[in-house]
């Protein structure tokens, strides 16, 4: 009886450690997907990108702030700040420009 309990406890500990490790990989994969999607939608040449902003599960969103320039010719280059919200369930992102709160 005690031997079965010990084996069950050991199995639970091993599976917990494995799920933690895989969840780290899952987060890294999600963040890579968010970065790729948001940077692609931004049309920026080489944007500065914030660390991911993870909203609670009820919202299901991950946010990124992007700062950079859009345009190819010197006359058409525009510096912009963008906010990208990525929906974890659908894999779709929405992007909008924001104005800095600084002067």
Residue matched to tokens 């084996």 = 7
What domains are there in the chain, each with its CATH number? 2-97 (3.10.450)
Residue 33, sorted as left (phi over 0), alpha (psi -120 to 50) or beta, turns out to be alpha
Q: 11-36: per-residue pLDDT in tens?
A: 444 444 444 445 899 999 999 999 99
Average pLDDT over residues 72-88: 87
Record the pTM.
0.71
Residue matched to tokens 């990124």 = 64
Residue matched to tokens 């890294």 = 28
Q: Answer positive or negative: Cα dihedral of 27, 33, 85, 98.
A: positive
* Pairing state between β 93-97 and 78-87: antiparallel
């Amino acid at each position: 009886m005690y031997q079965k309990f010990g084996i069950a406890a050991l199995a639970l500990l091993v599976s917990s450690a494995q799920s933690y490790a895989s969840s780290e990989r899952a987060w890294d994969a999600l963040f890579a997907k968010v970065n790729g999607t948001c940077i692609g939608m931004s049309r920026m040449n080489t944007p500065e990108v914030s660390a991911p902003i993870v909203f609670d599960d009820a919202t299901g969103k991950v946010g990124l702030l992007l700062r950079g320039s859009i345009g190819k010719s010197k006359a058409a280059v525009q510096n912009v700040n963008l906010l990208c919200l990525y929906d974890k369930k659908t894999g779709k992102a929405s992007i909008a420009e924001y104005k800095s709160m600084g002067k």
